[in-house]
Chain A
Amino acid sequence: MNVRLYVWQRATAAIMAPLVVVHIAVIFYATRQGLLAADVLSRTRGSIAWAAFYGLFVAAVSIHASIGLRNVLHEWSPLGERRAGACAIVFGLLLAALGIRAVVAVVLP
């Protein structure tokens, strides 16, 4: 960890705090017995607002989780700092790619 990574991790955490609260609300609203895919997708398809919301969430979590993973690998695994950093970058890119695909999947009309 250094000052640059710290700033990115704490900043994305602060950005995500309200997003997480909204997402938990969405989870509660959306999940119930007998939930249908159509129910979910009818709300998200073609929505710029959801695209922006979850797009921001994906960007932030890709950065935040990869830096967190880097710290854990550096402290708890035999990997040195450089290897831990490389793994973290790969993980971050994976999250970003899968995340963008997921957002596109539910938002595309």
Chain B
Amino acid sequence: MTVRQLKHRGSALWLAAMVHRISGLALAIFLPLHFLVLGLAIEGEARFENFLRWTDRPLVKFAEVALVFLFTVHLLGGLRVLLIENLDWRDGQKQLATLAAAVSAMVAFAFLVRVF
């Protein structure tokens, strides 16, 4: 069967759900690494200090900015789901979803400014 595109997939709410899912996956992959790195402190401050110096690189800083974005967007997307599922239905969700993405971008940008 040829691939039949489903055009509604481009809608804002579908995108919001997809961003939520992908950000969750990315965070799930990142977390064990994050825990491993923090665990370096168990071997003493020097080990942890070495790692922190490694993270001073620009490429790592950019990755951290992306992580902050993913973290914030996943939080806001999750709040959106909790609102839909537990409160009465409200319209204007497309605008809320877009706002969530914008706020996440702003938070990530603020982080970018802070670390560079």
Interface residues of A (CB under 8 A from B): 10, 13-14, 17, 20-21, 24, 27-28, 31-33, 35-38, 40-41, 58, 61, 65, 68-69, 72, 91, 94-95, 98-99, 101-102, 104-106, 108
Contact = CB atoms under 8 A, between A and B. Distances in A.
A32 B114 contact: yes
Q: Number of contact residues on B: which range applies?
A: 35 or more
9 contacts: A13-B82, A20-B75, A28-B111, A31-B111, A33-B115, A36-B52, A41-B41, A69-B28, A101-B35
B71 A98 contact: no
A32 B114 CA distance: 6
Contacts, number: 88
A68 to B, nearest CB: 5
Nearest to A98: B35
A94 B28 CA distance: 11
A95 B35 contact: yes
Given A68-B28, A98-B36, A102-B35, 19 more contacts: A10-B85, A13-B78, A17-B75, A20-B71, A20-B75, A24-B71, A27-B111, A31-B111, A37-B45, A37-B46, A37-B49, A40-B52, A58-B35, A69-B25, A69-B28, A99-B31, A101-B39, A102-B39, A106-B38
B82 to A, nearest CB: 6
Contact of A38 (B45, B75, B78): B45
Interface in B17-51: 21, 24-25, 27-28, 31-32, 34-42, 45-46, 48-49, 51
Contacts of B106: none
A61 B74 CA distance: 13
A17 B74 CA distance: 10
Nearest to B27: A65
A65 B45 contact: no
Interface of B: 21, 24-25, 27-28, 31-32, 34-42, 45-46, 48-49, 51-52, 64, 68, 71-72, 75, 78-79, 81-82, 85, 107, 110-111, 114-115
A10 B79 CA distance: 10
Contact of A72 (B25, B36, B38): B25
